[in-house]
């Protein structure tokens, strides 16, 4: 009678391996989401402080943004617009992550914000927001951002 069967042992190892790998991937993804959500929140906070350096540091040079008012902005446009737009408050809903690949992650969430743009008050609510982050070397950069005004809720 054999106590150790190498075939059975190999089958058990292979059967258990994906579960462990999936758990490791889930943990790594949760850490990545937390890190990128922190960067995303920091971008809103930087806008409240008119911190142009933050955006020079965390926006990719080829950044494109599509804002709720229909405008398209580059990184330079966005930074220049901080002279005219002063964010006074913001909220971010639950952030979800779509991992495009190991070096590209799309965050999606609902946002709302208030501010003053060229002396006119803005109060935006129910904005569906997407933000694409890419890893270049060891650094994550925001390369794309889009705001879409949510459809009115059906009754």
Number of Cβ atoms within 10 Å of the Cβ of 109: 18
Instruction: Round to whole Å and give the CA distance between 122 and 73.
Output: 18
Domains of the chain listed by start with CATH number = 6-149 (3.10.450.50)
CA atoms within 13 A on the CB side of 125: 3
Is the entire prediction scored with pTM above 0.85? no
- Which residue is listed with tokens 């890190």? 35
| Confidence (pLDDT) at 151 | 72
Kindly report the CA angle at 45 between 51 and 151, in degrees rounded to 5? 120
pLDDT for 34-83, tens place per residue? 999 999 999 999 999 999 999 999 999 999 999 998 999 999 999 999 99
Q: Which two tokens stand for residue 9?
A: 């042992």
């Amino acid at each position: 009678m054999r106590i150790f069967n190498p075939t059975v042992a190999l089958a058990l190892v292979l059967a258990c391996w994906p579960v462990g790998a999936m758990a490791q991937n889930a943990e790594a993804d949760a850490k990545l989401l937390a890190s990128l959500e922190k960067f995303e929140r920091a971008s809103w906070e930087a806008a409240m402080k008119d911190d142009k350096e933050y955006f020079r540091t965390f926006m990719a040079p080829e950044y494109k943004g599509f804002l709720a008012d229909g405008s398209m902005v580059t990184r330079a446009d966005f930074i220049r617009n901080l002279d005219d737009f002063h964010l006074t408050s913001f909220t971010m809903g639950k952030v979800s992550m779509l991992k495009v690949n190991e070096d590209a992650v799309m965050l999606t969430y609902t946002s709302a914000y208030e501010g003053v743009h060229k002396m006119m008050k803005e109060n935006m609510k129910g904005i569906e927001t997407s933000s694409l982050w890419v890893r270049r070397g060891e650094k994550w950069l925001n390369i794309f951002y889009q705001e879409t005004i949510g459809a009115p809720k059906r009754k």
